[in-house]
Amino acid sequence: MKEFFNMGGYALYVWGSFGMTALCMIAEPILVRHRRKITLQRVSRLVRSKTAKQSTNSSGDM
């Protein structure tokens, strides 16, 4: 087990590489998910305000 973490003396370099790779490939999907969430919120708000405007406009014809 200890040998595995030691990587023959190259621990800093091997884990420094795999660690950064893992970090990036975990962070990126999280960021993409977050972008979708924000986008859905923004577009929903936009659509809602548009339909609200339409209903106030049409309620103006009496």
Residue (4 or 61) nearer to another protein, CB: 4
* 8-47 positions binding another protein, by CB under 8 A: 8-10, 12-14, 16-18, 20-21, 24-25, 28-29, 32-33, 35-36, 39-40, 42-44, 46-47
Q: Does 54 bind another protein (CB under 8 A)?
A: no
Residue (12 or 62) nearer to another protein, CB: 12
Question: 8-42: string of b/e by CB count within 10 Å (b at 16+)?
Answer: eeeeeeeeeeeeeeeeeeeeeeeeeeeeeeeeeee
Indicate the length of the chain as a whole number: 62
